[in-house]
Structure formats: structure tokens, C-alpha cells
Amino acid sequence: MTAPLKPQSVGELAAHVSGRVVGNESVLINAVAELGSAGENEIAYVEDEKFFEAAKASRASCLIAPKEFVSLMNGAAPAFIEVAKPKLAFALIAEILHPQKRRQPFIHESAAIAKTADLDLTVFIGPHVSIGDRSRIGAGTRIEAGVTIGDHVSIGRDCVLHPGVVLYDNVTIGDGVILHAGVCVGADGFGYVRGDVSYHKFPQVGTVVIEDDVELGAYTCVDRAALGQTRIGRGTKLDNMVHVGHNCDIGERVVIAAQTGISGSVTIEDDCVIGGQVGFGDHIRVLSGAVIGSKAGILPGKIVRPGVWWGIPIQPLDEYKRLNAHLGHLPEMRKEIKDLKKQLEELRKKD
């Protein structure tokens, strides 16, 4: 995010998030901040009772809070914005006060651009960028230093490709996509066939389609399909160092945390939440609404139904918690069994 723009009044910010102002709506806000460090002309949020004391001590000029909390804080701040979801309102306000950096149209002299490439007049192209034959880049898109774009690549409007991104040939990127540093899209999938004495590469001639408003974290890799396409649906967000294997189909509004590895031909339907370091075998289907906890392991071919899942192999959360509770008592149970065996042996000797 850039430095803040001109200050906004509490009233203006409240209107943007459909909130109600309690206190002085003319107070000016120029930045968002943490609850504990916020000061004059800054806004913070509180949505959990355990942060009440910190909120009361806050020096923020405005606090975002749910209705039931505002009355309990007894005017701790000059102004409040009442909303049902304070964290969401805080994020929406941050978009206003700290918008993404904009670049003026520009092409650096060190960029290597194929003559057949089609670039909108409003794009920004940084130093040492390479753009291949017949690739197309839409209006307002920003390509930072050292990005490599292959042949026949399509990139939509208002995208941001941070330094070091690599797009292989024949991939498609929608509008409003953000690719962080080191992202690689379109590398060959991990597909080999065993021969008599060696492995032979299975054809990797498919493509990758990344739909609108997707964000991929730093050093995330999305492999091209062997045949057909690998897809990441609209509005999906992947954290740093996530690997998406060939022919995966990831739906809309999916969230995947860092270091998760997804094998080939996995389908993750819309609105799923995947924790960090989750391992997926191949040909798994995760149904819409499923939540998978961090470090879980999913065996090949499994269907994961809606609900919360955890463990290796995954199981419903309640079962996982029960099993963990039993595991915690294993040392005691082992001692009890040893004692019982000893008592049983003594009884046998008496007989």
C-alpha cells in the first residue's frame, strides 16, 4: 500500500461502510493503525471483548466496533463507527486511506518487448521485463522489474505483477489479478510414465487460466495442465509458497494458507478454506464450504464434504479432538496396563 491520501472525515468513512457514527463525525482520519499503537487522526477496530481494556486505553481518534461494545466503552475515543463486522469495515476503510500504488504509463528502456505484443497505452513496464510474441496486456496493468512473460500470454486490466514473476507461454490472467514476487504460472506439471529403464515425460501441453480478482502470494507456483487447463477461480486468494499441481480446478472465493501442496487433478469447490501446510494427494474433491485445518493430510481420491476437518489422515474436527485427548493419556494408560499385567501375573502364580 502507498502512503495515505488526503484525510477523510469519520462521517465519510462511516458512509462508505454503511456504519453509524457515535461522537464527532467531523474528526479527520488519515491512516489505519493497530489498536495498541493508534494515535491522533488514526482509526483502529475492536470486535472481541478481550480487547476492551486496550480499546479504552487507545489514543485512536476513531474506533470501529459493534453496537453492543460502543456503549460499554463509555466514549473512550472521540468517535466510533458502529458496524456488524468491524474487521471487514476496517479493511474497506484501509482501501480508501491506503490505496494500492498507481504508476503512470511508462515503458523502461531496458524492457525487451516482442514486436507482435499488444500493450495498452496505459500500462507500466519496469526495467528488465521480457514480453513474448503475441502476448497482450490490458489497460492499467503494472509490470514490475524483472518479470518474464512468454508467448501468447493474455493479461487483463488493472493487474499487478511484482518483481520476478514468470508467466510461461499460453497462460491467461484475468482482470484485477495480483501476483507477488517470484510467482510462477505455467511450468510443466510433474507427470512422468515409467518405461523399462527410465521415466518418460507425459505431455504437458495444457494451459493455466487465472480468473478475475485472484491474488497469489510470493513464490507460489501454478503448473500447467498436462491436457486441458489448470484453473483458479474468481476472487480466490493463495498465500506464499503454495503449489498447485497440473489439472487442478480451484473454485471461486477459496482461501489457501502458506506452504500447502496440491497434487494433480484436485478439485476444490467454491468457498472452501484451507489451512497452511496441508498436503493433498491426487484426484481429491473438496466440496463447497469445507474447512481443512493446518498440517492436515488428505489421501488420494478422497471426497471431503462440508464441515471442519483436521488431522492425518483428515477426520471431522470433533473426532480429531477426541483422539487427541486420548493420545494425551497414553503414558498413563501404558503405566496402568503394565501394573494390571503385573497384578495378573502375581494372581496366576498364587493359583
Residues identified as active-site: 246
Extended beta strands in 28-135, E state: 28-29, 31-32, 42-45, 62-65, 79-82, 106-107, 112-113, 118-119, 124-125, 130-131
Can you name the residues that pair with 292 across neighbouring β-strands? 274, 309
Residue 212, classed as helix, strand or coil, is coil
CA-closest candidate to residue 232, choices 296, 246, 241 = 246
Counts of helices then strands in the chain (DSSP H, E): 6, 41
Using CA atoms, how far apart are residues 244 and 19, in angstroms rounded to an integer? 39
Between helices 317-328 and 330-350, what is the axis angle to 10°? 50
CA-closest candidate to residue 257, choices 272, 245, 269 = 272
Angle, CA 325 vertex, CA 320 and CA 331 arms, to 5°: 130
Using CA atoms, how far apart are residues 106 and 116, in angstroms rounded to an integer? 18
42, 25 contact by CB (below 8 A): no
Amino acid at 46: V
For 64, list phi and psi in degrees, rounded to 5. -95, 130
Using CA atoms, how far apart are residues 257 and 272, in angstroms rounded to an integer? 12
The three grid cell numbers given for residue 170, joined into one nine-digit string: 499460453
